[in-house]
């Protein structure tokens, strides 16, 4: 499958979305734009797992907050960018007290005309139980709106469940 200018890969936790997104870029040099932060041992282990799976051919830049700026700075025609993941980025924004709507708007502006191919990974969290806490519900709602806005900007949107990709949108 030809790489779209912008691709959003959605899925639940451990659905295979990151591996699928990485497979889209496996035959070319790519930049991995990481939003996760190793704030505890579990997250450090997840980051190691992702790095090990990708192998040494990837260049990684860590950017937990200023994603639009990083994409604008690093996207180019000869090297696609993989952003993994929008869910951690959203969590970072909320934790830092940033204006989520403004940050998402900035990201969508960059995605409207990126300098090169961009693949983004995001969790679909709105399919489960309603979170017990106000913060949990606020996060779920922000995540749903983030996914909708980014999906509207992307030419291709793929939902991954049980490691199987299902194309939801494919605009030439």
3-state SS assignment for residue 122:
strand
- Segments of the chain assigned E as strands: 6-11, 31-34, 59-62, 81-84, 118-123, 156-161, 164-170
Task: Give me the half-sphere count of Cα atoms (radius 13 Å) on the Cβ side of residue 95.
Answer: 11
Residue 120: cis peptide before it, omega within 30 degrees of 0: no
Q: Residue 112, class by beta-carbon neighbours within 10 Å (0-12 exposed, 13-18 middle, 19+ buried)?
A: exposed
Name the catalytic one among 49, 50, 59, 142: 50
Is 50 a residue of the active site?
A: yes
- Residue 117, φ and ψ in degrees, nearest 5: -60, 140
Provide the annotated active-site residues. 50
């Amino acid at each position: 499958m030809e790489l779209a200018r912008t691709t959003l890969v959605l899925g639940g936790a451990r659905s295979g979305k990151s591996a699928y997104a990485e497979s889209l870029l496996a035959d070319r040099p790519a930049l991995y734009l990481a939003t996760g932060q190793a704030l505890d041992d579990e997250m450090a282990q997840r980051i190691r797992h992702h790095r090990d799976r990708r192998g040494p051919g990837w260049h990684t830049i860590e950017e937990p907050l200023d994603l639009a700026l990083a994409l604008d700075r690093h996207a180019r025609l000869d090297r696609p960018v993989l952003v993994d993941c929008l869910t951690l980025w959203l969590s970072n924004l909320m934790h830092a007290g940033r204006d989520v709507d403004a940050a998402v708007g900035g990201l969508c502006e960059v995605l409207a005309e990126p300098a090169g191919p961009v693949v983004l990974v995001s969790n679909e969290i709105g399919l489960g139980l309603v979170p017990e806490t106000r913060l949990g519900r606020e996060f779920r709602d922000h995540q749903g709106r983030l996914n909708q806005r980014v999906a509207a900007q992307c030419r291709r949107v793929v939902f991954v469940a049980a490691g199987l990709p299902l194309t939801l949108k494919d605009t030439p």
